[in-house]
Amino acid sequence: MYTEDQRFALWVYLVAIAVTCISLAGLVIAANTPNANPVPIATVIVVAVLCAFLWDVLVLRTTVSRDGVYVRLGWPIPIFWTRIGAGRIREARVVTYRPLLDAGGWGLRFGRFDGRFATFWNARGNRGVMIETDSRRYVIGSQSPELLHAAIELVRNRGA
């Protein structure tokens, strides 16, 4: 029905590239320093795995299907994910939020929205859809919040 992939802002990727390059340069320097302990291959493997993990995590995928809303942080391998069943959605609305003040940043975050606790899933921007269930609130960031909201309403009305 609806799928949106969001990538984080360019500066996030630039920071990730810088950290990766600095880490790898440090390993190369340490490996070529005379009289230094050799860098264990395990360290190189750990850095490589962490870099792959970082690149995987930098994608937020939101999917609305007949049975609910799926949000995944990480693609193609989701590191964090949630499913909000269509029958559980009590309310959904387009919102503007403050990522730093309301959620403490981007990614999977926990904060307050409209004075109540909410789980934030966002990659960039300050607009999204707030979904309320009987027990939780979610704010899902979107570059097309009106389209996301329309898809959620379609699913919610079918499930009601």
Q: Given CA atoms 120, 126, 131, 134 in this order, what sign does their dihedral have?
A: positive
Q: pLDDT at position 68, please?
A: 97
For the chain, give the mean pLDDT. Answer: 87
For residues 85 and 147, state if they share a domain. yes
**8 Å CB contact between 139 and 118:** yes
108 domain-assigned: yes
User: How many folded domains does the chain comprise?
Assistant: 2
Kindly give the pairing relationship between strand 116-122 and strand 107-113.
antiparallel
pTM above 0.75, yes or no: yes
Give yes or no for residue 27 having a pLDDT over 80: no
1 domain-assigned: no
Give yes or no for residue 12 having a pLDDT over 90: no
Q: Taking Cα atoms as reference points, which of 41, 79, 39, 89 lies closest to residue 57?
A: 79
For residues 100 and 38, state if they share a domain. no
For residues 53 and 64, state if they share a domain. no
What does the pLDDT look like over 58-75, one tens digit per residue? 889 999 999 999 999 987
Enclosing H/E stretch for 42: helix 41-57
For residues 69 and 121, state if they share a domain. yes
Q: pLDDT at position 40, please?
A: 59
Of 76 and 83, more confident: 83
Of 85 and 76, more confident: 85
